[in-house]
Structure formats: structure tokens, C-alpha cells
Structure 1
Amino acid sequence: MKQSTLAIHGCMPERGDAPYSPSAPAIELAASFHYQRAADMTAVANAEMEGFVYQRYGNPTAAALQRQVALLEGGDSALACSSGMAALHIALLTALRDRPTSILTAEVLFGETFQLLQLMEQQEVITRYADPCNPEAFEAALTQSDTGCILVETASNPLMRVTPLDAICAMGKRHGVPVVVDATFTTPILSRPFDFGADIVMHSATKYLAGHADVLGGVTVCRESHADWMQELGRHLGPNLGPFHSFLTMRGIKTLPLRMEEHSRNALHVARVLEEHPRVGAVHYPGLDSHPDKAVADRLFARGPDGNTLYGGMVSFEIRDADEAAVFRFANALQLVVLATSLGDVHSLMTHPATTTHKNIGEKRRERLGIGDNLVRISVGIEDPEDIAADLVQALERV
């Protein structure tokens, strides 16, 4: 089935022999499940029979979401988690089971991911950094020590460098190192990392999957070889997503294909407008001919109904000769685009990475990576693209 069909029908139970069935998944709020026979409860608790015992061990609503996302990603097993960071932690612990030694990752990545990796170093899991957009250098770093797993983002946060997943996953296979992919920016509508050989894929469901600014959640998806361990971690570490947020995420996913097409079209329009503005320096968007990874995106990302590549809804740009105060004047002048530390919502959001998402990685590291005080990140929504662009342009005039 196509992605748009799976997005709508993937969370629904089989119809069975009943004369009717509900048109939406049920919200099962129960913390525990009552049994008539002790032997049946024991069998379910021991995974010898399908069913549910206690919400931390699984819930019918979360299970429906897990089935839906696994189908969209082409994975074998999924775990719905309480946040994107919980999903990432589970993904890394799953990948590191056999070799809890070190993680090789990109230098440019989400600031909270960097913080998590710093915490894991206190548990003697060392992190090493290299540039996955330079596969030769990345492979050289991979072979320098006993690497437990590779971690990459499909598109880097906030600079929108596109990871050549085909090359990175092939590299992981050559060296027997599992590859973990954060696919939050692209979703399974733009890119399915399992198709390129990834082992584990995670999402912050708070963002595009749910898409309406009313959910905090995450999902981790893996291949069969990792499934038992991932589910074991889910049962005993307690990261599970509750039933109501599971339901909201499923409802959001039903329109995900439509939304991602609109996000992508709007973002390309906004990026082109910004690129022509005299107050704007570099614009980071893989749909622009000026972007260094446009060819990679065209090779790896899905195409829309019109045959054109979908590049996603995230745009970052640099305001020329601007300091923090100037960027704040820009932010305060926005009338349609909202100021928030999130992304992937139906409405457009602006974030200043240097003082929010990436403030804890340190000023020197930010400057070296190109995340300066003048960098602005826009999550382009699905409003009219001319309205979004006009708001950004009028705010630039206030700088």
C-alpha cells in the first residue's frame, strides 16, 4: 500500500466477523487489565499469549500507534514513548546492547541530543563526532575505535545538511555497526531510512507526526533483530506514551502525507523569497540550488504528486550583520509566525537556536559549526505561503 493509505488505515484493527467496527481507534485509559483466569494473565505477562496486563507493559491505543508508524517506516517493531528524547534514549540503548562502548555521530545535531550524549558519557559511553556529509572522513572516524553505533539525523538541526543515508548505512553494514536515524525532520513521507539499510529509526512525535502542537511524544522503530530488546527496555524503563497522546498522534498521522506536501511547497517558496532579500545572508534549505546537499536530497527524498522532490518544512537563514539584539527585534516584529521552541506544527514557528535549542553546546562550538547569533530557524507551516513570506519580510525591515 502507498503511504497515504497506510497513514489512514494503519492504526485500525482488522474487521473480523463482527457486523460493525468503530471508525476510530479506542482510547483505552485503563492502568491495568482484569482477567478471569490466572493462567491467562500469566501467559500474557510472559509474552506467551497476546494481550495486555499493565499499561507500562503495553496499551491497546499505544499498540495501534506503534503498528501505524511501523507500517509507514517499513520496520518490524515500534515503541511509543513519552517524548522524542525518550525515544532517542531507547534507540541508543537498543543499538548499544552488544557493544556499549562509543557512539559516532554528526557534529551538527539537535542541542538536546548533544546533552543526552554528554550524560551518557558519564556512563562511560564515549561520543565521537565527524561529518556524515563527508562519508570518507566519517568512515575513517568509524574505524579509529570500537564503535557501538552510528547516530545521524536525516537532515541536521538546524543547518539542514542532508545525510547521505545510503552511504552511511552501507558503511555500518561493512563494519557491523548498527545505524540509528533521527528522522523527525523528514518523517516517513519524505524518507524511509530502513529502505537504505538503517537498523533503528526514531521520531519526536511531538513534531510532524502529531503536527498540531498538542502532543508530547516519540516513537522508536526497529528491525526484528532488535525488537525483543527494545520492547524489554520499554517495559522496564517506563518511557511509554499514554493512551490519550497516542490517540492524538494517530489522528495527526492520518493527514501527515497531505501536510508534508504542503509544508514542503510552502518552505520552498519561503526559502526562495528569503534568498532574494538584501538583509538575508545564507539560506539553508535543501530545495535551493545553492544548497550543498540538493543532489543528495533529490536522490533520497520522496517526490510529490507533481513529480517534484519534497524537501520538508524546515528553513534556517542568517540575518546579515545581525547580533542577538537584532534577531530579537526581528522575532518581536513577527505577527503571523509564532516564537516557540518546537517545530512541525500546522502553524509557522520561529526559533533562535543560539539561545534555545543549541544554547547548551557552548558559544565556541556553536560558532565553529555555523550556529551563530544571527541564525534563525523557521518551521514553515501550512498557512498560505505568501502570508508566511510577507510576515518574515516585514519583520526583516524592522531589524
Structure 2
Amino acid sequence: MSQKHFETEAIRTQMERSQYSEHSAPLYLTSSFKFDDAEDMRASFAEEKERNIYSRFTNPNTSEFVEKICKLEGAEAGYAYATGMSAVFSTFAALLSAGDHVVSCRSVFGSTHALFTTYLPKWHIETTYFKESEVDKIEELIQPNTKILYAETPTNPAVDILDLELLGKIAKKHNILLVIDNCFATPYLQNPIKFGADLVIHSATKLIDGQGRVLGGVTVGSKELIREIYLFSRNTGPSLSPFNAWVLSKSLETLPVRVDRHCENAMQVAEFLESHDNVNFVKYPFLKSHPQYEIAKKQMKQGGNIVAFEIKGGVEAGRKFLDALKMASLSANLGDTRTIATHPASTTHSKLSEADRLEVGITDGLVRVSVGLEHADDIIADLQQALS
């Protein structure tokens, strides 16, 4: 049978049924698994057979979740984590050694920036940044000890787009690994492996769960690379819990219908904001005014659910806007069923200098909206009254 469509794979990829012939995958809330005899135990620990030993290594629920993500991303193997940041850290820690070098886009999640600038240097691993607008300078930054080229696309929170095909060609030319954080797009909207990525990372906490319930992360890619990541992770213990894996695997069954509505709503919100007098600019990948619109159209199915825009009036106007919202939530999360608004300059990125914020596209009046699944008219009405 030919390869099934995304929606079908997301629903029909399931673990083997138990003796109870359940229709929906059961929960396996067990810390360990028993062996038939001494030889079975020896062979299992020698990895002469594939089987569950301990839930820190593998578990039927985490295995089902990983298998789904691999199919949806076009990857060979993967490992599931307790959070998105544990996936990011474990991927780098498993593959990098003292003296290695990373080239990364400057527009990365705040905790990833802290990893690059505060923690990896402790182990003599250095990172050099490039701006999203200066991809033509990436090759100049690659050194003999460069091991990884890293990027998020779309970026957080300014919603910039990086050309995955270009990044893939650069990585291949210089024989370095391309690692992409695909959190904002999800496997439904974008598949970086098709453009040359070696590894793809997700914070499953966001759109993959989609309902603000659980934390989770996952890294997928080639069997060879995932083998290294798996060995590091099974020994250091950042694994995803079976319960959260069960929730996330079920969440993937509705990912396409949810993300379709998120994108439909986000496009309407972006178009509304672009026409508002109190807004200086709007950044949404599928708006023709977006600087990387053509690249977004090339590599993304739709524009995602994140809209960034600048309110006239700077920091104080941004704070007043948040206070005036009546329906949208003020939260540190995104990708929820509920619309969420944040003002990075006064909250998530307030500890950065103005120069550092501007370097990653965070102006004083920038607001990031994670557009939810409420009716688009109600979302727009709330934004409109807050802007007024």
C-alpha cells in the first residue's frame, strides 16, 4: 500500500494491541518491564532484541508518540523528552564535545540563547550567531571545529523565516549537521528534513499538545544520530513520562484540523491588524508584506498561528494593550486552543538591553499573539477594543 496521507498516519499509527484488543491505545504506567528468564534478561540488556526494559529508556506510549512524529516528519528514529528544552539540551550535549563550535541564528528561544551563552561555554563549546537577515554571511562564520548549524523557523517571537533549502545546502557543503527547531510550524506545516535538515526538534508542549495540558519534547532524525542521542538520554534521564506521551500521541490525531483552524484565524487576525491605525507593522509568514513571504510559501503549507505586530507608543502602549484585553489570555505558553498575547519587551525579554532586543527584532511595542481556536470575529473584536 502506498504511503498514507498525513491525517491518516497521525490517527492510524498505533502500538500493537494487547490481549484486550483495545481500540484506543492504553496507558502503560509502569516504571519497568519483567523478563521471561535469565537469558531473556541478558539478551535484552545486550540489545540483541528490541523490547522494553525500563520506562526511562523506552515505554509503549513514548514509542508510539515517537513513531508518529517520525512518520510525520519523514525521519528514521527519535527520542521523546520531558520538555522541549530537554530535547534541545540533550541533542547538543549528546553530539558536541569540548572544543566544538556551533553556528546559530541569533533569533532563538530565550532558554536556547542561555544554553549557548552561559552553559555550553562551561564545557568549552562556543556559539557564533548570525542575524536572520544575514544568511549570506553564514559560510564566513563556519570554522574547522564547527559541528552544528542551528536555527528556528519561524523564529520566536518576531516570526522571521529562514530558507531551509539554503541552510541545507550550506550544511552539506561544509559537512556539518543542520538542526532545526520546528516548533512553530509543526510537522503538518513544514518538514525540514526534506530540505536537508539532519535533526528536527519540537517542543510538543505547544501546538502538538495544543490544549495547554502537558509538557513534552522530541528530537527526530537519522538512526545513526538518534542512536548517540538515545544513549546520552537514557543515561541522563530527561525522558518523557508515559502519561504525557499518551496525551501527546492522542493530540497528534487532531493536529491537522486544529492547525488548519489556527492558520485560518491567524490570517484573518493578521489582515485586520495590518489595516489598523494604531499598528506600525505586522509580521505573519503568509502576508505578502512579510519580508520572507516567498520563502515561507516555498517551505510551509500555511502560515502558522503566531502573529507579531508593533503597537504605536512603545513599551507603555504594549502594557496598556495587554491590560485592555478582555478575552485573550496573558500567558507564557503558545499554541493553545485559547488566544494568548505577550509583550516581550516588558516580560519575557525585559532583562535584555534594548540593543539586544532590537538585534532579534523585538521592538518596544512588539506584541506576539498566539491565535487560538475561538471564532475569528471574537478574537478580532477583543484585539480591536484593546487597540482602541
Please give the range of the TM-score, normalised by the shorter of the 2 chains: over 0.9
Q: Aligned to 1:56, what secondary structure does the other structure show?
A: coil
2:340 match: 349
Q: Determine the C-alpha separation between the residues in 2 that align with 1:362 and 1:113.
A: 18
* Unaligned stretches of 5+ residues in structure 1: 303-309
1:294 match: 293
Distance 1:199 1:337, change over 3 A: same
Alignment of 1:194-209 (within 5 A): 194-209=193-208
Distance 1:95 1:199, change over 3 A: farther
1:47 matched to 2:38: no
Distance 1:360 1:180, change over 3 A: farther
Distance 1:355 1:24, change over 3 A: farther
Counterpart contact for 2:313–2:365, Cα < 8 Å: yes
Q: Aligned to 1:296, what secondary structure does the other structure show?
A: helix
Q: Aligned to 1:219, what secondary structure does the other structure show?
A: strand
Q: Determine the C-alpha separation between the residues in 1 that align with 2:194 and 2:82.
A: 26
Q: Aligned to 1:202, what secondary structure does the other structure show?
A: strand
Q: Aligned to 2:314, what secondary structure does the other structure show?
A: coil
Q: Determine the C-alpha separation between the residues in 2 that align with 1:146 and 1:27.
A: 44
In the alignment of these two chains, the number of paired residues is 384
Alignment of 1:201-280 (within 5 A): 201-280=200-279
- Tell me which of 369, 373, 383 is aligned to 1:392: 383
1:100 shift after superposition: 5.4
Counterpart contact for 1:268–1:287, Cα < 8 Å: yes
Distance 1:368 1:198, change over 3 A: closer
Counterpart contact for 1:105–1:151, Cα < 8 Å: yes
- Tell me which of 6, 11, 14 is aligned to 1:8: 11
**Which amino acid in the other structure matches residue 221 of structure 1?**
V
Q: Determine the C-alpha separation between the residues in 1 that align with 2:280 and 2:306.
A: 17
Q: Determine the C-alpha separation between the residues in 2 that align with 1:124 and 1:270.
A: 45
Counterpart contact for 1:185–1:312, Cα < 8 Å: yes
Q: TM-score normalized by structure 2?
A: 0.95
Alignment of 1:158-173 (within 5 A): 158-173=157-172
2:79 match: 79
1:14 shift after superposition: 4.4
1:25 matched to 2:25: yes
Q: Aligned to 2:56, what secondary structure does the other structure show?
A: helix
2:312 match: 320
1:369 shift after superposition: 3.1
Counterpart contact for 1:133–1:162, Cα < 8 Å: no
1:15 shift after superposition: 6.0
1:95 shift after superposition: 3.9
1:229 shift after superposition: 0.6
Residue deviations 1:267-295, cap 9 Å, x none? 11000100111111111111111111000
Q: Aligned to 1:55, what secondary structure does the other structure show?
A: coil
Residue deviations 1:105-141, cap 9 Å, x none? 1111211110111211222110100135543212222
1:156 match: 155
Distance 1:361 1:176, change over 3 A: farther
* Unaligned stretches of 5+ residues in structure 2: none
Q: Aligned to 2:80, what secondary structure does the other structure show?
A: strand
1:38 shift after superposition: 1.9
Q: Aligned to 2:200, what secondary structure does the other structure show?
A: strand
Q: Aligned to 1:35, what secondary structure does the other structure show?
A: coil
Q: Determine the C-alpha separation between the residues in 2 that align with 1:54 and 1:116.
A: 29
2:326 match: 335
Distance 1:223 1:357, change over 3 A: farther
